[in-house]
Amino acid sequence: MAQVQQRPADAVSDEQLIEAVARGDRHAFETLYDRYSPAVFGLALKTLREREVAEEAVQEVFWRVWQRAKSFEAGRKFAPWLFGIAHNYCIDELRRRRARPQPVYEDDEHPVLSSIAEPSDVADAALESEQRRIVIGALQQLPAEQRQALELAYFGGLTQQEIAARLGNPLGTIKTRMRLGLQKLRGILQGQYAAE
Amino acid sequence: MEMHTEHIEDLAEGYALDALEPGERVRVEEHIAICRLCKQHMQGVHDTAQLLAFAAAPIAPPDRCKLRVMEKVAREQFLSTPTRRQRTGRMLSAWATFATIALIAMGAWTISLQREVAAMQDQQVRAQGEQATLQAQIAHFASTETVRSLRAEGIATGATAKTYMTPGKNEALLVVRNLPRLEPGKAYQVWVARPGLHQPLSVFTANQSTESVMLRTPEPMDTYRWIMVTIEDAQGAQQPSQETVLFGDL
Ligand SMILES: [Zn+2]
């Protein structure tokens, strides 16, 4: 009969799990899905803004995780690798859709900036993670214009040039804000994780 | 390290956020393919940038997403793993073909139960092991959520078959039409399967143009991936023969 073996999922790190997935372990894959599908769905909803499209995104992203598990490099962290796949898919999809005549991501009533820094808007409270709390906290420490540049790019799918045009700033200014923003974020996060 | 391209630190943030123009992106990719220093730097920036994903409110996707992904994974694994080929090699490769065809065909079936009932109303239908009309069975399965078609192959070409099931329940109804009669001593047998498991179910003969077969499964129907009908000796078998006549996804 079936070969299901429940393991104490939380005892195993993401990185151990993805290495098991690379060896064809479907239960490890399922555990990673359970851990991360809400974050991926949240990201997809925030960028793509349509439930059906976001559901597609979740399926495609985890399918890619399954297919690419063998290329996961030992020593790296799983979450950014996964989000890289997810973000790449969502932004490609967003740009593809934007190329057709459709309402674009941003609108004046719901500017990107104000919609992002609220940790609790529609999140399932049970899914709030420590990682999320730390990242939200770090983002809030950034100067507003740095955060704005990062968010317009990451969730809005805008290029640096588009952001510069949108905000009426020189391209170099936008690049600098992104660099400083990410540097500062990295510094804060390293401090936070080190303190864990 | 490479002499004739510049390092690309100034493009790292834009690349990590996927916010470069296409030409710039190509430049980065060409460079990190040959410059370990920049690749390393890029990975650090990328890993920080991707943590922005946590800023999106986490929301559980509907269960169907998981079911679809897990099914796709199970199918891919099943079709690509040579496990058990020793014993049922030809069977498995036949399954691969069937599964592919069935996948393409899925979603094309929209005929409602009601139409099914109407079409069969005048027909005498015999249930497996008991006298019950198809109408009664259909009534029992009136709340089924899922109808799955099976593909007919081999001597059954021209037959049609559907499974009525409700996820979570250990029973289903298989309705088949126009299966050919078998030689004496032979019978049709229903199986449900998932990678590594063939679960033998009911054995039946096709004496009517329409047969309905009640299926009772040890585990809920939606824990299986495929359903199939094979030709076996009249008493049934524990492992399926290679004569598959109907095959479908669950
Ligand atoms: Zn370099």
Same domain, B89 and B44: no
ipTM of the complex: 0.84
| A126 vs A182 pLDDT, higher one | A182
- Range B104-110 average pLDDT: 41
Same domain, B82 and B14: no
DSSP character at residue B127: B
Q: How far is A121 from chain B (nearest CA, A)?
A: 7
Quote the ligand 1 centre to B5 CA distance (angstroms): 8
Q: What percentage of chain B carries pLDDT values higher than 70?
A: 71
Same domain, B43 and B81: no
Is residue A102 in a domain?
no
Same domain, B101 and B41: no
Task: Tell me the β-bridge partners of B176.
Answer: B161, B211
Is residue B68 in a domain?
no
Q: How many structural domains is chain A composed of?
A: 2
Is residue B61 in a domain?
no
* Range in A49-53, B44-48, B204-208 with the lowest mean pLDDT: B204-208
Is residue B51 in a domain?
yes
Same domain, A69 and A139: no
Position B89 scores a pLDDT of 44
Position A10 scores a pLDDT of 54
* A55 → closest Cβ in B47, B53, B61: B61
CB distance from B59 to chain A under 8 Å?
yes
* Residue B172 CB burial class (10 angstroms; 0-12, 13-18, ≥19): buried
Is residue A175 in a domain?
yes
Same domain, B177 and B90: yes
| B193 vs A83 pLDDT, higher one | A83
The C-alpha atoms of residue A132 and residue A135 are separated, in whole angstroms, by 5
Question: Which among B55, B85, B100 is the end of a domain?
Answer: B55
Position B160 scores a pLDDT of 87
Residue contact B60–A158, C-beta within 8 A? no
CB distance from B52 to chain A under 8 Å?
yes
Of B203, B196, B43, B210, nearest to B123 by C-alpha is B210
Task: Tell me the β-bridge partners of B194.
Answer: B197
Q: How many structural domains is chain B composed of?
A: 2
**Residue B155, both tokens:** 């001597």
Residue contact A83–B50, C-beta within 8 A? yes
Q: Which range has the top average pLDDT, B27-41, B81-95, B104-118?
A: B27-41
The C-alpha atoms of residue B153 and residue B161 are separated, in whole angstroms, by 11
Same domain, B84 and B13: no
Directed axis angle between helix A78-99 and helix A26-48, to 10°? Answer: 40
Is residue A23 in a domain?
yes
Neighboring chain A residues of B81 at a CB cutoff of 8 Å: 24
* A33 → closest Cβ in B55, B69, B76: B69
pLDDT in tens, B9-22: 899 999 999 999 99
Q: Which residue's entry shows tokens 């994974």?
A: B73
Position B143 scores a pLDDT of 60
The C-alpha atoms of residue B232 and residue A73 are separated, in whole angstroms, by 49
Neighboring chain B residues of A161 at a CB cutoff of 8 Å: 21
The helix (H) or strand (E) run that includes residue B152 is: strand B146-152
Structural domain that includes position B94 = 73-250
**Residue A100, both tokens:** 């057709």
Structural domain that includes position A12 = 1-79
pLDDT in tens, A28-44: 999 999 999 999 999 99
